[in-house]
Structure 1
């Protein structure tokens, strides 16, 4: 199935922010979501039937395919999912080879994967835990960006906002960061070290490719994300947690910025969050 729309690629598909990123950017572009346990389903219209086996990720993907935010659009996007190990150069290379076969301009690429949150005394932290954290947050960011940037640069035109009508805004590369990338709290050395590395990568890429017309932004998620797992936390504070749909809307707003006024680092936190 072919399309002339631009593509939005979202790495690290799961419930919460990445799901809402897909529905927000699906209002403008066709969507490609990547994840280690995400089944590969290429270029389908919303409401598609997914193949077995049934898993939590498959059910989440089914929800995306049938989400009214997409199905009720005048021109619903094509939705693709590709099983990808973001810490593997081979896997990421194979994924982007499939994306290139779509023959569509890439408008947005979002690295929303992250090493698991880990709080552990420093002397009990293991080399394997550091390696695992860096493999996703740091190496994963590198591999994803190295494959996404050439496709994003194809959409850059120094004389106009973008090179084709399918790309109404400057091509944008996002990295989802965390407060741990700015400050290292006690017993947070594993997670914080990986997030500091990711921030360094994102800012270096922004400084290198911003002058070439590619908008690169690091989004610092500072606060508890509202989900089933966090329902019991801050229950007495109205709007005390980050609402995924509202966070995703902020990404969309950044993407729409004219190149005369780009944001390269952006912090999102609830009004009641201490910082």
Structure 2
């Protein structure tokens, strides 16, 4: 397989945003590795992008390490998408369910960030790679009856900030993307037109982060539809 521009890993791949990002990265010549709990659902995407798919629990340290240890070629891009929403009154939430949600959203982001940084630091060049975390407005403001999601996204945002301050001077671009609105994923029941985030347009924003010159690296961006309330 051609090395192209190197390897790009997307954790939590699915049919929406991650599929759009995958197609755009494949068009640029990256070798793609897609990790998901059910890789069978990625068969069409894998065929379109010539991607390797791997069954993965992104919150499992051994599984995440094995994925990154098994990569061939220089790792240039890593994207972490998974998150877990648990809704309910703070007085009634199940602690074990909350713990698992935070592990998926925040601890999994740490595991991917750690393993991606480890490999990227070995790369040659002034710019060694890009690590992107898919965030949400819950990482900026906590909403009622959504404490677990807010805890996970606030932690994820703090992780990205800390990694950016540590790794930017070492040539690794780290950014957190605040997706402030609903994504118009394929098969989603509601049709909000361009009042919802178009996944292909979102993917362009991700590529713009990858393309940024290091003199203007963003560590955080917010993307929202034109009708979304701030």
Change (3 A) 1:233 1:118: farther
Cα deviation 1:248-268 (Å, max 9, x = unaligned): 111001100111111110111
Classify the secondary structure of the residue corresponding to 2:215: coil
User: TM-score by structure 2 length?
Assistant: 0.93
Q: TM-score when scaled to structure 1?
A: 0.79
The answer for unaligned runs of 5 or more in structure 2 is none
Structure of greater Rg: 1
Separation in 1, partners of 2:92, 2:66: 37
CA-to-aligned-CA distance 1:112-169 (integer Å, 9 cap, x gap): 1111x232111111211220111111110111111111212223523xxx4xxxxxxx
**What's the counterpart of residue 151 of structure 2?**
193
Confirm or deny: 8 A CA contact 1:224 1:230 kept in the other structure: no
1:36 aligns with 2:8: no
On the 8 A contact 2:183/2:197 being kept in 1, the answer is yes
Q: Select which of 62, 68, 72 maps to 2:43.
A: 62
Give the aligned partner of residue 120 of structure 1.
Answer: 88
Report the equivalent of 2:161: 203
- Residue matched to 1:240: 195
Aligned length: 228
8 Å CA contact 1:217, 1:264 repeated in 2: yes
Q: Secondary structure at the match of 1:138?
A: helix
Q: From 250, 255, 270, give the equivalent of 2:210.
A: 255
- Please identify runs of 4+ aligned residues in structure 1 that moved more than 6 A: none
Does the aligned pair in 2 maintain the 1:177–1:198 contact within 8 Å? yes
Residues in 1 aligned to 2:27 and 2:123: alpha-carbon distance in whole angstroms: 19
The RMSD of aligned alpha carbons is 1.6
Secondary structure at the residue paired with 1:122? coil
For 2:124 and 2:225, the matched residues in 1 are separated by 34
